[in-house]
């Protein structure tokens, strides 16, 4: 295992486990759009969601790189990513409503 000297292996294992558990949440918006919209509009909603995701990655990648260049480290950009991701999980937990399957 190749870790920076300041990171104990136990901390890496904990963070990797948490990331593994939470990384599947990226599929949640797709299920929410498909359940929230009428069936004749779900394709449009899913296409819009997919397009917005791509636009977000196109816009944030240069910002992440600029932060790395400015700080000379990945620490601050990664901390910002973790903070934004944590905020989005909190929003899902507080605002998402169960729609229950259609029969």
pLDDT tens, 9-46? 888 888 888 877 777 777 888 888 888 889 899 999 99
**CA distance between the termini of the chain:** 49
- Extract long-range pairs of 86-93: CB within 8 Å, 24+ residues apart: 89/22, 89/25, 92/25, 92/28
Q: Per-residue pLDDT tens for 64-103? A: 999 999 999 888 888 898 888 888 878 888 888 877 776 5
Closest by Cα among 1, 19, 10, 4 to 74? 4
pTM beyond 0.85? no
Sign of the torsion formed by the C-alpha atoms of 80, 58, 96 and 101: negative
Q: Locate 97 and state its tokens.
A: 């409503």
45: helix, coil or strand? helix
CA dihedral of residues 88, 93, 96, 101 (deg, nearest 10): 120
* Residues constituting the chain: 103
What are the pLDDT digits (tens) for 45-59?
999 999 998 998 899
């Amino acid at each position: 295992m190749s870790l920076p000297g300041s990171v104990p292996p136990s901390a890496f294992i904990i963070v990797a486990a948490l990331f593994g558990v939470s990384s599947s949440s990226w599929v949640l918006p797709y299920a929410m759009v498909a359940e929230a919209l009428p069936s004749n509009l779900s394709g449009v909603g899913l296409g819009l969601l997919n397009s917005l995701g791509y636009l977000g990655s196109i816009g944030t990648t240069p910002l992440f790189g600029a932060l790395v260049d400015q700080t000379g480290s990945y620490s601050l950009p990664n901390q910002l990513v973790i903070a934004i991701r944590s905020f989005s999980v909190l929003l899902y937990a507080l605002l998402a409503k169960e729609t229950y399957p259609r029969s």
